[in-house]
Structure 1
């Protein structure tokens, strides 16, 4: 079952430009007090306006119980979230926040390779600090359009001069994944976040690495195969015994909501993880951008905003 998450008002205590088109927000409780605990890789929902909910990775210090920090890139062709943050949100404003949740956790490993592109550095930033604290061997390769556009670049190279490689595209070209990922290592976990071309290329290069090596986080949905043709199927809601039909042109989430079942949801595109639901029977057709291949094969959870069914019937813990 989706777990009810904390939702609360926070105040913008700081709003600082940190790179070209990137602003860092520091969020605190209006009257002071601690915030929910989080771990590297976690994100929160910002409820910016009615119908405008966006997810942003927490990029501050997990040890600081009193401040959440998120860095927001102004997207040239965005859907209104980053524009709202950059143009309307000011210091002192109050904003509704939900979370945090983490579908991109830092799993224990003796060695890490972090690959970040652009604003994809945000979930990686607290990970490198955690890796260093754990005494792990790690390396970060960070690409961006230009050096001034790369958030936290100066801080990273100052704090970790021998472990961080900056690759501004106008100076060095695209990241050299051929060399970086040429030799699989069984003792290494790879964490990658950034634009879709980088993620797709990294996935391709890691195909020969041991299963479970690569962990990625997407800010936009993974592209659907061109030949995808949805079909109708049934879902049984185990907590009520109700059986519903999901037609080809509607999601499970839409159908169960119409039937009066309250399900916590946010992005509705398979990237935030809010609508995670336990599968009791049947085989899901996973179409989210979150689960690893191992988690997909297990088939015990699914994200009902986008995923469908391979079998004619699913039994869900709803």
Structure 2
């Protein structure tokens, strides 16, 4: 029976691990990132893949840094036939890539060679793409540059945000890996060299990318908001206080005010002028030091003093 080590961290990866066990593969161990402090109270929380692994009674290895670690040698000593990664979050060192007879493969949430890197789902929405997908590829030392084995494409809907698309692509990735593994094990699979002239990158989201530039078009800002929902969340500022914008829509309003200016206030939403004489309707937000709330609750409470002409920066 083919022995596998699975390496993954977020919720995207957990169903893929579950599929491997359900299909009867011999999962020797699960490698994931260390537990991290989460929330305002900094509660030490295991990653979703660890939770899934413990539910499945699988041994878990959590290296802080893989290269040169005791955990790396522990993984090597297990001598797996195949290593499967899915959003693990660390680069695999050369000595590990060379261990499995069947190689190391990665379930990557983009249609490679587009969007190599750590945030392909976020970036595809931010960029306004109308399609994405999953690629299964061989791993090599260069980031996401290995030969493609198989791909599956889906549409990005106007209502999709990163959370929704994560869930969709996790299912796509699980199904694609299930269909692809037999050919990998029998060594009859495809190997498609990536076209380097078509490579684009999706680096991990920076703090600067989270800040809304109201000079952009309403379409661009809407894509940014949904591309950063539900994490890390786009933000702006009002009277020097940060305000996170969780949900918004484009709207046909044009007061020809400066970008960032409040141009309309209703009972359950308010409208902010953007660049190019367009506007964004804010539906859900989070003022500094508060929980997220509907625009209606905001306007009844902490935002009750908001007035037409006020300016978000």
- Same fold, judged at TM 0.5 (above): no
Instruction: Compare relative contact order (CA 8 Å, sep 6+) and give the higher one, 1 or 2.
Output: 1
Determine which structure has the larger helix proportion and give its number: 2
TM-score by length of 2: 0.32
TM-score by length of 1: 0.31
Instruction: Tell which structure's C-alpha radius of gyration is larger.
Output: 2
